């Protein structure tokens, strides 16, 4: 495996999210929004709390926190995502910014939430340490990531098809392992190393209801970042077999795939 170049990986992720921002609501959002209630609960977001939604995408968590009476701000490094969020929730505050270097003061928030953000950062250690810096002592961090591919069948099916017909090692910009934080022990250590106490782990059951058996391939190919790059890196002659294998597997599940999240929270 090639060493990770964090600058190159960040640029790759940034370009990817800029491109797919407008499609996000019709691709992953029906699944990622299933974690909103649990992540707000884990962060104790409620009336009068100051909540930061990092890697906010189109702003769903920010909006749900505000609906609970929190004073919420969303931040994302993709200007296209920030535009989507402002268009969707015109009364709320969204800013462009990098999770790894937040342009925000120390101890300014009671809760910092990352809904499906941590697995996309080039340097997650920097992002978690920024969360610690902007939280008041006793504040809460919470983040969700996907459970491993053996449980999140939307990923498991795609990766198995690539493994069978294509090349899982096709050249894409190397980044931190996509499923690194799916392992509770790894995430607990990550939180403790950043100065957080009392980590709590939860698995959130989620289901991806696809409108057709081809939707999984289409979302991964046209509306994701790393998985899209992996699919685009396959030889054209095997891509058809990959697509067919994915469709058949999705049909076996009647177009409804388990997509559980791992939710971690801790106290600063």
Ligand X SMILES: C[S@@+](CC[C@H](N)C(=O)[O-])C[C@H]1O[C@@H](n2cnc3c(N)ncnc32)[C@H](O)[C@@H]1O
Record the tokens describing residue 2, joined without a space: 């090639």
Cβ closest to ligand X, residue 99 vs residue 134? 99
CB of 115 to ligand X, least distance (A): 3
Task: Give the pair of three-digit tokens for residue 121.
Answer: 């950062």
Binding status of residue 178 toward ligand X by CB under 6 A: no
Q: The tokens 């996907």 sit on which residue?
A: 146
| Stretch touching ligand X by CB under 6 A, among 77-85, 161-169, 187-195, 254-262 | 77-85
The one among 9, 94, 121, 264 contacting ligand X by CB under 6 A: 121
Residue placing its CB nearer to ligand X in the complex, 166 or 175: 175
Nearer to ligand X, 75 or 266 (CB): 75
**Which residue bears the tokens 């019709």?**
26
> Cβ closer to ligand X: 166 or 265?
265
Q: Work out which of 38, 43, 117, 156 binds ligand X, going by CB under 6 A.
A: 117
Q: Per rule CB under 6 A, is residue 9 in the interface with ligand X? A: no
Q: Is 259 in the site for ligand X (CB under 6 A)?
A: no
What residues contact 164, with CB distance under 8 A and at least 6 apart? 245
Q: How far apart are CA 96 and CA 22, in angstroms?
A: 16
Min dist CB 54 to ligand X, Å, is 6
Query: Least separation, in Å, of the C-beta of 159 and ligand X?
Result: 17
**By CB under 6 A, residue 95 contacts ligand X:** no
Taking CB under 6 A as the criterion, the residue among 81, 219, 231, 259 binding ligand X is: 81
> Of the two residues 6 and 258, which places its CB atom closer to ligand X in the complex?
6
Which residues contact ligand X by CB under 6 A? 13, 17, 28-29, 32, 55-57, 60-61, 76-78, 81, 98-100, 115-117, 120-121
């Amino acid at each position: 495996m090639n060493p990770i170049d964090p600058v190159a990986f960040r640029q790759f992720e940034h370009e990817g999210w800029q491109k797919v921002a407008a499609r996000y609501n019709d691709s992953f959002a029906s699944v990622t929004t299933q974690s909103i209630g649990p992540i707000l609960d884990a962060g104790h977001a409620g009336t009068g709390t100051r909540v930061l939604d990092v890697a906010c995408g189109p702003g769903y968590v920010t909006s749900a926190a505000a609906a609970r009476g929190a004073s919420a701000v969303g931040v994302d490094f993709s200007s296209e995502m920030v535009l989507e969020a402002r268009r969707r929730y015109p009364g709320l505050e969204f800013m462009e910014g990098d999770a790894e270097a937040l342009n925000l003061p120390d101890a300014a928030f009671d809760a910092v939430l990352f809904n499906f953000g941590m697995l996309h950062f080039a340097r997650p250690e920097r992002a978690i340490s920024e969360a610690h810096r902007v939280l008041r002592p006793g504040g809460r961090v919470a983040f969700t990531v996907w459970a491993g591919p053996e449980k999140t069948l939307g990923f498991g099916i795609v990766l198995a098809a690539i493994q069978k017909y294509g090349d899982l090692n096709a050249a894409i910009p190397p980044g931190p392992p996509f499923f690194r934080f799916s392992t509770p022990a790894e995430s607990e250590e990550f939180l403790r190393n950043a100065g957080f106490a009392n980590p709590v782990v939860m698995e959130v059951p989620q289901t991806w209801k696809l409108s057709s058996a081809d939707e999984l391939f289409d979302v991964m190919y046209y509306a994701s970042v790393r998985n899209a790059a992996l699919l685009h890196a396959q030889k054209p002659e095997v891509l058809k077999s990959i697509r067919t294998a994915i469709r058949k597997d999705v049909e076996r599940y009647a177009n409804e795939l388990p997509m559980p999240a791992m939710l971690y929270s801790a106290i600063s």
